[in-house]
Amino acid sequence: MQPSTYHLLALFVSPEQQALRFPLTMLLIFGTAKLFANVCEAFGQPGLVGEIIAGVILGPSVLNWVQANDVLTALAQLGVMFLLFRVGLEVKASDLMRVGRTAFLVAVAGVLLPFLVGWACMQAMGASHIEAIFVGAALVATSVGITAQVLAAKGLLHQVASQIILAAAVIDDVLGLLVLALVSSMAEGKVKIGALATTAAVAGGFTLLVAKYGTSTLQHVMPKVERKLTVAERQFHLALFLLFGLSLLATYVGVAAIVGAFLAGMALSETVEQRVHDLTHGIGELLVPFFLAGIGLHLDLSVFTNRHTLTMTAIILVAAILSKFAGCALGSWRLGPTDMLRVGVGMIPRGEVGMVVAQIGMSLGVVDKPVYAAVVFMAVGTTLIAPPLLNYAYRSCVREAPEIIPASTS
């Protein structure tokens, strides 16, 4: 860890006390995140909004006490993996498969419209063709972690719209992978159709295979393996093995590790005991604040001193919100206006996904710093606006009230 990464720590930690740096950073992030979460909840807003704001305040935008680094990034990645694993444990694969058709329509519409709108906006502002394409790609993929956290905290994962959001976000991730692969190859001047088709087939096949057969397979395998183990918490150990194993496989085939984590949880949802749920929840309570605060740490408001950058950022943010909402709501039109609203706002957050696309664009030399800053602001802005909108969209729902999925959604 470089001393420049921890500006506040120099005030409290002498060079002879370097071992204090890590626990002090953990205390700052976790303590501030939970403090702001409590403030937001006192005002009727989801606690995760406060945890993201805590990252903004601690980061370069305000106090500049903590900056993102490899350790915090690793904690954030673990946090979102456990979050999606926990959500998966509450969802039955059969329920998601039943809303598969609607979820697919939502995902496709929610990818195409933001991509086209983002590209068109950047072209209208005079950006190069390839830079406009990268911004369009940054608007494509939903960060399901934010929506999943809100829905899980409110006990709404069994609602029809919630299941469609989760299923669509998984499909969305596969489609986003293909869009990113396509625009990256265009930036490098060589589009390989065969490689893209192979990636699509492998990523889609992996996701569908685990979603469809994972639960039934584990119902037969888990009890047999458990009987051969004698260690305490053996069921939880097996669950963690599956979590990390499927996260690794998901990354290997090209989709996000969090998709593998979600699929692992869903495959175990009808097999494991409540003890596994409780232990997973405990780990998530420790790690998820680092994921949420980490989103805020990436925001640096000092770059927005130029009027053109401010205008571009505002346009990208509005385009990201409206295009995703419109595309996903349109894809769920069969469900009626109430669930269309829920699905539309549930797919709005971009979180870390948009940042990754912009970072790749910068590494290839086709996205400049102001555009990268605008995309990061868009990612944080859409993440912050989604929870209050979800609160409004689900205001009439009863907590933990399962809902029967109508046949028309399949």
* Residues 6 or more apart whose Cβ sits within 8 Å of residue 281: 86
Distances, alpha carbon 102 to alpha carbons 5, 92, 249, 278, 321, in Å: 46, 17, 27, 32, 21
Q: Is residue 97 part of a domain?
A: yes
Domains of the chain: total: 1
Specify the pLDDT at position 15.
Answer: 59
Residue 28 tokens read as 């700052």
pTM: 0.84
In a domain, 195, yes or no: yes
Q: What is the pLDDT at residue 143?
A: 83
Residue 410 in any domain: the answer is: no
For position 57, which CATH number holds?
1.20.1530.20
Is 110 part of any domain? Answer: yes
The per-residue pLDDT for 199 is 81
pLDDT tens string 294-345: 988 988 787 788 888 999 999 999 999 999 999 999 999 999 999 999 999 9
Least confident of 75-89, 95-109, 153-167, 384-398: 384-398
Angle of helix 160-187 versus helix 257-268 axis, rounded to 10: 150
- Compare 248 and 60 and report the one with higher pLDDT: 248
Return the pLDDT at 231.
87
Q: E strand or H helix at 376, and its extent?
A: helix 369-393
Read off the DSSP letter of residue 19. G
Q: Which residues contact 337 (CB under 8 A, 6 or more apart)?
A: none
Which has the higher per-residue pLDDT, 6 or 321? 321
What is the residue range of 304's domain?
3-403
Work out the pLDDT band at 398, boundaries 50, 70, 90: low
| Banded model confidence at residue 20, pLDDT cuts 50, 70, 90 | confident
Cα-based distances in Å from 206 to 7, 107, 196, 200, 368: 44, 18, 15, 10, 35
Q: Are 236 and 268 in contact (CB under 8 A)?
A: no
Strands (E) in 219-328, as ranges, are none
Look at 56-65, 180-189, 252-261, 284-293 and tell me which has the smallest mean pLDDT.
180-189
What is the pLDDT averaged over residues 266-281? 95
Residue 363: exposure state from Cβ atoms within 10 A (0-12, 13-18, ≥19): exposed
Question: Would the pLDDT of 408 be above 70?
Answer: no
Contacts of 56 by beta carbon, 8 Å cutoff, 6+ apart: 62, 296, 297, 299, 380
Percent of the chain with pLDDT over 70: 92
Residue 409 resides in a domain:
no
Give me the percent of the chain exceeding a pLDDT of 90.
Answer: 56
Confirm whether 148 is domain-assigned. Answer: yes
Q: Inform me whether the pLDDT recorded for 222 exceeds 60.
A: yes
Q: What is the per-residue pLDDT for 11?
A: 57
Average pLDDT, the chain: 87
Residue 14 pLDDT: 59
In a domain, 237, yes or no: yes
How far apart are alpha carbons 95 and 117 in whole angstroms? 32
Query: Given a cut of 90, is residue 267 above it in pLDDT?
Result: yes
Render pLDDT for 79-138 as a digit per residue (tens, 0 to 9).
Answer: 999 999 999 999 899 889 899 999 999 999 999 999 999 999 999 999 998 999 999 999
What does the alpha-carbon distance between residue 112 and residue 216 come to, in Å, rounded to a whole number?
34
Domain assignment present for 182: yes
